[in-house]
Structures are given as structure tokens and as C-alpha cells.
Amino acid sequence: MTAITAPATVATDGLLRFAMRLDAVLVGVTGVPFVAAAGWLSALTGIPVAVEYGLGVFFLAYGVVVYLLAGLARVRPGGIATIAANALCTVGFTAAAFAGVWPLTGWGVALLLGGAAYTAVIGAVQYVGLRRL
């Protein structure tokens, strides 16, 4: 007589958790200079100082929250929220770069488009991780 056993389940949330943690660390670390050197960044980019401070605080909070979400037993809801946030940031950064609401310098346009590219790529990686669940 042969016993039939179900194959061991394999965790498939590794990519999503990794991408969320990587995103949290990179964005959180990016928030530090936005807060610490907002005036200098504003002069370099043309983005108003208040917006630089606001982005810096948002980046710091985002980093903490997303890192905590990546550690939850059920990572799916946090992953969906993180992917949505990255999609919104991609659209927002792109719109800000081309809308003409601020007197952006070349560095400012590059910063916003670089941020849009980053959020699009990391969001896509997180989406792939979500689909693997």
C-alpha cells in the first residue's frame, strides 16, 4: 500500500515582500535629504521648499508603513495598496514634470521623471510578485 501525500506548499510571496521592503528602504532613505536639505534641493530643482519638506515627510512615513506592511502574515492587501501608491506617484510625478505648475530647472524635471521611472519599475516588480501569490 502506498500513501499519497500532498506536496508541501511553497511560499510564493517572497518577491512581493522583497520588492516592498526594498521600496520601503529606498524611499525612506530618500526622504532624509528631502527634509534635511529642502532649501538646497529647492534651489537646485525649482520645486518649492514646502513641497520638498512635504515629500520628505511622506517618503519617511511611506518607508515605515510599507516596511511594516511587508511583514504582515497576509501581505496581499498591503501589496495592493503599495502598488496603487506607486502607480499614483508615477502619474503624479509625470504630471508635475510637464504641467508647468512650478518653475522647474533641468534637475527638477530629471528628479520628477526619475521618480516616475522608479515608481513605475518597482510597482511593476511588486505587481509580478502579487500575481505569484
In the chain, % helix, strand, coil (3-state, to 5) comes to 75, 0, 25
Q: What's residue 3's pLDDT? A: 64
Rounded Cα distance, 40 and 42, in Å = 5
Phi, psi of 108 (to 5 degrees): -65, -45
Q: What's residue 4's pLDDT? A: 66
Q: What's residue 6's pLDDT? A: 52
Please, which pLDDT band fits residue 48 given cuts at 50, 70 and 90? very high
Q: What's residue 90's pLDDT? A: 98
Q: What's residue 130's pLDDT? A: 97
Q: What's residue 82's pLDDT? A: 98
pLDDT tens-digit map of 65-110: 999 999 999 999 999 999 999 999 999 999 999 999 999 999 999 9
pLDDT > 70: percent of the chain = 92
Give this prediction's pTM: 0.90
Query: What's the chain's average pLDDT?
Result: 94
Is residue 86 within 8 A of residue 23, CB to CB? The reply is yes
Rounded Cα distance, 122 and 87, in Å = 10
